[in-house]
Amino acid sequence: MASIQLPSQLAGLAEGRKQIKVDASTLGEALRKLDDEAPMIRSQIFDASGAIRQFVGLFLDERQISDIGDGAQPVGPDSQLLVVMSVAGG
């Protein structure tokens, strides 16, 4: 199963889990299954138009995903999707 790694800022929206395992063959499917597991997270990662929020980084198997597109990027059973939240302030 693919693994989705969540930052501490989002773990609270997933019952404290920092890792969620999903059975998916594409990035789009993995994100839909993440939404099934923790529906509050989607609005933190994507804006209303479905684009990745400016302060969020998504990395699939160590490659940055800047545009989900149609979500057809392949996900294998050992794939890791890392969600990174930028920290801002002054």
Domain ranges of the chain: 2-85
Identify whether the C-beta of residue 75 lies closer than 8 Å to the C-beta of residue 2: yes
Q: Using one digit for the tens of pLDDT, what is the confidence trace for 37-84?
A: 999 999 999 999 988 898 999 999 999 998 888 889 999 999 999 999
Q: Using one digit for the tens of pLDDT, what is the confidence trace for 7-22?
A: 999 999 999 999 999 9
Distance CA 81, CA 58 (A): 7
Assess whether pLDDT exceeds 80 at residue 88: no
Q: Domain 2-85 adopts which CATH fold?
A: Ubiquitin-like (UB roll) (3.10.20)
Distance CA 39, CA 88 (A): 25
Identify whether the C-beta of residue 62 lies closer than 8 Å to the C-beta of residue 84: no
Task: Kindly tell me the sign of the dihedral angle through the C-alpha atoms of 42, 10, 52, 88.
Answer: positive
Distance CA 22, CA 6 (A): 13
